[in-house]
Amino acid sequence: MITAIRNAWIVTQDASRRIVRGDVVIDGEKIVSVGPSYNGTADREIDATGDIVMPGMINTHTHVAMSVMKGVVDDLTFGDFLDKVFKIDSDRTDKDLDIGTKLGCMEMMLGGTTTFMDLYYSEDVIAKATQQAGIRGVLCWCVLDQEFTTQNGNPLNNCRNFHQNFKNERKIVPGVGLQGVYVCNEDTCVGAKQFSDEVSAPMNFHLSETRGEVSDHKKKTGMRPAEWLSHIGALSSRGVAAHSAWLTRKEVDLMGQAGMSISSCPVSNMKLATGGVAPVPEFIQSGVNVSIGTDGNTTNNTLDMFAEMKTLGLLQKSSRWDPVVCSAQELLDFATVNGAKAVGMQDMIGSIEVGKYADIVILDGKSPNLRPLVPENIIANIVYSGNSLNVKTVFCQGDLVVEDKKVVTLDAEKVLDASEDMWRSLCIRD
């Protein structure tokens, strides 16, 4: 099937960061033409006159199935938050994981996100729900020491089985997750990294999210977490370290030498008041690939990448007393091309170029918050003025998943209605 998106402002995010006026043509899963008017015939025509066409965004750290847990652990200390979340997690069923995933996927695709990197257990259930939703999941099965897990069986073996069963599934990329150094000993970390290397799978993990985590680990091992992970050989170019807020320059350099990516989650860190600000300028200087994650709906309450882009930029500028830090173009890069690199798909997604998958978002150029709209301000408007309500239409790998601001792949009302029952079953405790 050939789809022609006509007469749009196209934010390509290609190597030259071109913005062009014209058409984007999709044939099947991939983009076949970008730029001047397309003179061929198409099975589907979309008039995007005055609209913005941009790449689908990539959320590099979340826990999508927790979307049914909004509002249950707000305004708590970090310790109380963890206690309550762990208790709820231990009671989850496949049914509520399915509804939570679909709810989270609906929120993401309505907000212009076409790929997300997840860290959780039961990723097999999450994968099936994600496939029904129609967006792409880079799903990292959570690995931790067996003494700390509520999973049946060995977590690393569970991860291996998940990868084997889903490695050839469309729009599902099975990966390896590490909960964090506080519940992962050396054997667990090295075993997870070795498996990631063995099957070329991405690896997502929490790193230096809190000062307490860093302090406790240094007391235990004599080294800070990133330094220790480097020492045991557990850092790699497939690694995506979420949060990464409490790091020294030495650790940043070690991460750069390993070719790592980070997923900065500013809203989550601020909401939990864990302190620290990810050293984004130093990451860039040291060659660490910077991407953006929302974290889950218990620590952020939204999966909105527009909000996360803007918040990341404002936090960096404010904390550095430097308005030049993290330009609008850099922030959009973090959410698109850098995110693609983080999940190992830079040759397939992250920009609008011929030969890449058609992961495409159309923004309503008639929205007052995006006007005036001229080539010189389009990037700034997307990052500083845009929001998820501007999203009109979304394609993921050529599949239409949102049309005229409505999800077309799921029974939205059924998912929304079921979410309240799931919340009550999980979150109301005596």
Gap between the Cα atoms of 242 and 236, Å rounded: 14
Q: Give the lowest-confidence range in 82-91, 166-175, 205-214.
A: 82-91
Kindly tell me if the per-residue pLDDT of 338 is higher than 90: yes
What pLDDT, on a 0 to 100 scale, did the predictor assign at position 167?
97
What pLDDT, on a 0 to 100 scale, did the predictor assign at position 83?
81
What is the distance between the terminal CA atoms of the chain, rounded to a whole angstrom?
Answer: 54
pLDDT tens, position by position, 109-137: 999 999 999 999 999 999 999 999 999 99
Give span(s): CATH 2.30.40.10, the chain: 2-55+348-407
Kindly tell me if the per-residue pLDDT of 369 is higher than 50: yes
What pLDDT, on a 0 to 100 scale, did the predictor assign at position 74?
83
Inter-residue contact 134 to 397 (CB < 8 Å): no
Residues 6+ apart with CB under 8 A from 26: 2, 3, 4, 5, 32, 358, 360, 395, 398
What is the per-residue DSSP string for 310-348?
Answer: HHHHHHHHHHHT-TTSS-HHHHHHHHTHHHHHHTT-TTT
DSSP category for residue 40: S
pLDDT mean over 323-351: 98
pLDDT tens, position by position, 140-151: 999 999 999 888
What pLDDT, on a 0 to 100 scale, did the predictor assign at position 430?
38
What pLDDT, on a 0 to 100 scale, did the predictor assign at position 236?
96
Give span(s): CATH 3.20.20.140, the chain: 57-342
The H-assigned helical ranges of 53-122 are 78-89, 94-110
What pLDDT, on a 0 to 100 scale, did the predictor assign at position 84?
82
**CATH classification (class only), 2-55+348-407:** mainly beta
Q: What amino acid is encoded at 356 in this protein? A: K
| The length of the chain, given as a count of residues | 430
What are the residues facing 19 on neighbouring strands? 11
Kindly tell me if the per-residue pLDDT of 257 is higher than 70: yes
Gap between the Cα atoms of 192 and 389, Å rounded: 39
Confidence of residue 429 (pLDDT cuts 50, 70, 90): low
Q: What amino acid is encoded at 66 in this protein? A: M
Query: What is the CATH code for 57-342?
Result: 3.20.20.140
What are the residues facing 205 on neighbouring strands? 178, 241
How is residue 349 written in tokens? 């997604």
What pLDDT, on a 0 to 100 scale, did the predictor assign at position 212?
93
Q: Examine residue 55 and say whether the peptide bond preceding it is cis (omega within 30 degrees of 0).
A: no
